[in-house]
Chain A
Amino acid sequence: MSQTAATRNPGDRAALTTLFVAFLKVSICGFGGGLVWARRIVVEQTQWMSEQQFAETLTLCQLMPGPNVVGIAVCVGAKLRGAIGAITALAGFILLPWTVGLSLGALVLQYAQLAVLQNILHGLSAAAAGLLIATGIRLLLPHRARPVALLFATLAFAGMVFTKLPLLVVLLTLAPISIAATAFGGVRA
């Protein structure tokens, strides 16, 4: 890393290898909180983006479907080196971790019949499900004073869990109504 930084003039276009390694790091470190590491590397360490630019990019990514951190990788890569940069950052983020993760995971799953391992996996998935529920609840807290928001969160939950409708149907039904309600009803914070 330090060698790459020394051979590169500041303000020069970022080397593709640096970009690859940076997002490999985000991917490996980003356990449960990839965004924290993405900001640290992109804003503080490499200064590829200012704080303001990073915040705007994050806003953009939150507006789009898909994993937000992957979106950050694509946007940072695109900013620095265009399409090839986006692909490089993405490859750094996915290629190695995916290969290693799939191999390791497939190995573990081979032995999933073993009683001990099966029990461990059960405990893990029960805990991981809890983390997901808690994440949702935390996201909901800032909206707790808005009945409309609570209503639509409940409808989305019920639509998926109880009716077993496809997500596309649920979203195409609820999104326009929610947008209309937000546009007409609430200019309030």
Chain B
Amino acid sequence: MNIFSPSIVLAAHLAVLSSISFGGFPTVLPDVHNLTAANGWVTDREFANFFAVSQVVPGPNMILMMSFIGLKVGGIAGAIASALATFAPPCAMYFASYTLWDWFRDRPWQRIVRRALAPLTIGLVIAGGYVMARAADTGWPSVAITAAAVALMLRGRTNPLWILIAGGTLGGLGGL
């Protein structure tokens, strides 16, 4: 591993993860967190910061979050490598499968696979949220913000953007 620069290790790892990110990129957050923590590339606090910033910038936020990690690990080249590793493999698959779609759209197995993968990806999404909550956890006030965000989001009547703004404001006022 030491033969390669951290940027390359990170990009190669992200390329594998993006190829198996069924259910979206938040499902791979725990794995990315383990990798960056094990290599000492990014602290918990930085990881939480990257997540926070990527969530309030419009646009492809998970690609951005991985780019922030790449930026920290290997400068602008690292950021570009991380971004490419995050979206290029799935895009190649999308393109290939779109051209093959007519062939497998009515196969019974694709329904079974979809139904079987759904619970797994849901568990992984919740794991992603849990790992991020742990990374952002600085005591009971931050836990309370997370819990309140869960409750508001589940009620479903509040725009997520307001929940984020409220979280940021409470953090700024309360000094977490």
Residues in chain A within 8 A of chain B (CB atoms) = 27-32, 56-57, 59-68, 70-71, 74-75, 78-79, 83, 86, 90, 93-94, 97-98, 100-102, 104-106, 108-109, 112, 115-116, 118-140, 143, 146, 148-157, 160-161, 164, 166-168, 170-171, 174-175, 178-179, 181-183, 186
For A126, A135, A166, the residue with the greatest tally of chain B CB atoms inside 10 Å of its CB is A126
- The 8 Å CB contact of A128, one of B64, B101, B132, is B132
Q: Cβ of B126: which chain A residues have Cβ within 8 Å of it? A: 132-133, 136-137, 140, 153, 157
Residue of A nearest to B131 (CB): A161
Task: Give Cα distance in the complex from A151 to B118, angstroms.
Answer: 12
Interchain CB contact under 8 A, B146 and A155: no
Q: Cβ of B125: which chain A residues have Cβ within 8 Å of it? A: 132, 135-136, 139
Residue of B nearest to A69 (CB): B60
Knowing that A78-B99, A167-B31 touch, tell me 10 more A-B residue pairs with CB under 8 angstroms. A56-B105, A64-B22, A64-B90, A66-B24, A98-B64, A127-B146, A127-B163, A130-B148, A134-B150, A135-B129
Q: A67-B24, A143-B119, A155-B123 are in contact. Are A119 and B176 (CB under 8 A)?
A: yes
Q: Cβ of B12: which chain A residues have Cβ within 8 Å of it? A: none
Interchain CB contact under 8 A, A152 and B133: no
Interchain CB contact under 8 A, B119 and A157: no
Interchain CB contact under 8 A, B132 and A93: no
Interchain CB contact under 8 A, B154 and A138: yes
- The 8 Å CB contact of A179, one of B105, B116, B137, B169, is B116
Interchain CB contact under 8 A, B68 and A106: yes
Q: Cβ of B120: which chain A residues have Cβ within 8 Å of it? A: 152-153, 155-156, 171, 174-175, 178
Residue of A nearest to B32 (CB): A167
Interchain CB contact under 8 A, A30 and B172: no
Task: Give Cα distance in the complex from A161 to B130, angstroms.
Answer: 8
Instruction: Answer whether residue B40 sits at the interface, using C-beta atoms and an 8 A cutoff.
Output: no
Task: Give Cα distance in the complex from A105 to B17, angstroms.
Answer: 23
Instruction: Answer whether residue B26 sits at the interface, using C-beta atoms and an 8 A cutoff.
Output: yes
Residue of B nearest to A24 (CB): B59
Instruction: Answer whether residue B8 sits at the interface, using C-beta atoms and an 8 A cutoff.
Output: no
Instruction: Answer whether residue B48 sits at the interface, using C-beta atoms and an 8 A cutoff.
Output: yes
Residue of B nearest to A56 (CB): B105
Interchain CB contact under 8 A, A65 and B59: no
Q: Cβ of A68: which chain B residues have Cβ within 8 Å of it? A: 24
Q: Cβ of A56: which chain B residues have Cβ within 8 Å of it? A: 101, 105
Interchain CB contact under 8 A, A126 and B133: yes
Interchain CB contact under 8 A, B34 and A164: yes
Residue of B nearest to A181 (CB): B116
- The 8 Å CB contact of A98, one of B16, B63, B172, is B63
